A and B are shown apart, each in its own frame.
Chain A
Amino acid sequence: MRFGDTGGVRLHVVTGKGGTGKTTVAAALAMALATEGKRVLVAEVEGRQGISGVFDVPRLSGDDEVQVATGPGGGRVMGLSVDPKAALLEYLQMFYKLGMAGGMLERFGVIDFATTVAPGLRDVLLIGKVYEAVRRRPSRRGTRSDQLYDAVVLDAPPTGRVAQFLGVNHAMAGLAKVGPIKNQADAITALLQSSQTAVHLVTLLEEMPVQETVEAVAELRALSLPLGAIVINQEVTPPVSDETLALLAADDFDDNPLAEDLAAVGLRVGPRMLNGLTQTGIDLTHRLALQDRERETLDGLGLPTYHLPMIPGGMDAGGLLELTAALTEQVATV
């Protein structure tokens, strides 16, 4: 499975444990896919305004699809924050021509009920909107040409909730056995399980995010959802080589040459300085060993893996472009 739309994937679902940077990765992926002439939609479903934050644009509201960036390849990236209420009203309007009744439903609190409390329904509506965006075709009446997409990137809920979210059909199965909601859930599931979809998992090389990734992979596989790639985010390349670390770790390590160098560059050399520097190196050795262990666990999943560098100082426009370039480069070499 590849990232690129050349593999026939039209819906890229991006998930990851909270704090792993899945929204940033979703944004970078949308940018990378927006090569010349291509149109890519990046959608969020939790109302977090994460997309407008990453692209540094005004808040996305209602069901408006607005341009948030121009891809480095010249394509367009559009953003959407799916609002379940707007999605429900649109859905009702589209299929039932409700007219005034829509307002009445709102007044009675039905819309609130359906989008907040009714289990599973909210998720059907949220993915339903994304489904609709993926399935748009120029031939359909009322479709605006600027809202046709070559690919859609979904910034999905975190790993802990993603199987439940994508398993809409499963969630609804016990509830609606027949009827329009059931049909909608079935159609969504068919798309999600097809080769047009790929679910990517973002992780850090830390124990908990990796553990959650492993669990999510098992759950997603059980739901027959096609898995895409593992994205290791915020990877740090240390300035110290393995050879240097090996010298430090040796039993007979002698810190005299180190002291000599430090003195030669004008630093005041004391035990605190010497021990501090060697210990910093030894800490790094430990950390790298732990990361290797996590990397092995991820390798065991048998999925393609991509690496994104740590952007020092937090994300900004330059950082996003750097991640985009890293993705583009790695995908091209697959």
Chain B
Amino acid sequence: MTQPPALDIDTLLRDASVRTIVCCGSGGVGKTTTAAAIAIRAAEQGRTVAVLTIDPAKRLAQALGLEHLDNEPAPVEAIDGSRGGSLDAMMLDMKRTFDELVLRHSAPEKAQQILENPFYQAVSSSFAGTQEYMAMERLGQLHAEQVDGSARWDLIVVDTPPSRSALDFLDAPKRLGSFLDGKFIRLLMSPAKAGGRAYLRVMSVGVTTMTAVMSKVLGGQLLRDAQTFVAALDSMFGGFRERADQTYALLSDAATAFVVVATPERDALREASFFAGRLAEERMPLAGLVVNRVERTRIPSLREGRADAAAEEAEGLPPRKDTEWQPSDTAALLRLHAEHATQAVRQEAAIGRFTAAHPTIPQVLVAAAAEDVNDVEQLRDIGRQLAG
């Protein structure tokens, strides 16, 4: 089997030109933990870091020594700042980020009108793409924050929303942007805007039919709310698509590095593989693959087959009279080891398939821990493993 290059997170962290690290991958693979471990390691190496998490377990906030995380960055005191670094942690509050966006970009009374619009309330709190869009928006804001004329943070580590697929993070903002900026929206607002007069003459029958159908299906009130919402947003942003394109451009910048996170299982690695392919297609910079929860046996030299054979033989040994420990106990331990070894072989094969498809993508493996992360020391340990 070909050996993939090793991902060394320290190389990435030493590169001062890298200002954003995005951790992505499918749900349940440990993205947030990886992001936190990278952020701590960077801060303890002297960088000024912010970590933006999306949906952290309560345990992680506690591990960082914070009661809870919210939309505003809070300093993590538990880290070692002796090399001049610092770490601020925060959690994305989608609705608040959206509200603040509205407040910042529109006159007070108009802002109030938008905030009270039922359609806005629903979009800002429940639309599946809003979270991704707001994560990017927040990332942009964090980068823009300054202290004494220079950027407040020199590295921002972002965790991505728990979407069904890793690709959603890339696609959702564009989708939201293109719909809010699309033909239909313009139609909703004012049919005349959809095209010139000639176009309108041809289409007007269609437009009337359509508006009639829409109001029949959706109900007139919903349609009016949608119209108000869209009109308000449009005057506010002057083009959602443009904005989505900007955030997208930020991600393809050389100052950004993507870290794809997976577990050593077929499905998670398949998703990681799709994502890696997609990043390459979009020319977005992929730093490498982190495989979490990798099983490591304590006796690598004892293969599963040998352990199983030995267990069988041990079961045939005569019972011992003078001690409680019996050959059957020995056999049980050997079988347990064999199970771990089998699992390790399987995981290796799953990772091998990824390697075969992407032989040049650097990889690093993080061992499975007995417990969920409870404190900074455990996160430091993951950080050490990420550095190979």
Contacts and interface: CB of A to CB of B under 8 A. Distances in A.
Contacts of A171: 122, 126
B127 A176 contact: no
Given A108-B183, A171-B122, A174-B121, A280 B298 contact: yes
A180 B329 CA distance: 68
Interface in A175-223: 175-182, 206-209, 211
Interface residues of B, number: 79
A175 to B, nearest CB: 5
14 contacts: A20-B28, A92-B217, A101-B209, A113-B182, A117-B127, A120-B126, A179-B218, A207-B59, A207-B372, A211-B58, A264-B317, A266-B310, A314-B266, A314-B346
Contact of A177 (B187, B221, B371): B221
Interface string B323-346: 111110111111111011011001
B333 A181 contact: no
B216 interface: yes
A241 B333 CA distance: 10
A101 B213 contact: yes
A118 B226 contact: yes
B164 interface: yes
Interface of B: 26-29, 55, 57-59, 118-119, 121-123, 126-127, 129, 162, 164-165, 175-176, 179-180, 182-185, 187, 206, 209-210, 213-214, 216-222, 225-226, 263, 265-266, 268, 297-299, 301-302, 306, 310, 313-314, 317, 320, 323-327, 329-337, 339-340, 342-343, 346, 370-372
A104 B206 contact: yes
- A-B CB proximity, top 4 nearest: A179-B219, A18-B27, A19-B28, A119-B122
B325 A257 contact: yes
Given A104-B210, A175-B119, A262 B299 contact: no
Contacts of B323: 254, 257
A211 B62 CA distance: 15
B219 A257 contact: no
B350 to A, nearest CB: 8
Contacts of B310: 262, 265-267
A69 interface: no
Contact of A109 (B184, B331, B339): B184
A323 to B, nearest CB: 16
Nearest to A177: B221
A240 B333 contact: yes
Interface string A78-104: 000000000000001000101001001
Nearest to B164: A46
A116 B179 contact: yes
Nearest to A117: B179
Contacts, number: 207
B314 A261 contact: yes
Contacts of A109: 179, 182-184
A301 interface: no
B38 to A, nearest CB: 19
A316 to B, nearest CB: 11
A280 B162 CA distance: 33
Contacts of B268: 19
A51 B122 CA distance: 30
A113 B184 contact: yes
Given A239-B335, A314-B266, A174 B325 contact: no
Interface in A26-53: 46, 48
A265 B336 contact: no
A287 B372 CA distance: 11
B26 to A, nearest CB: 7
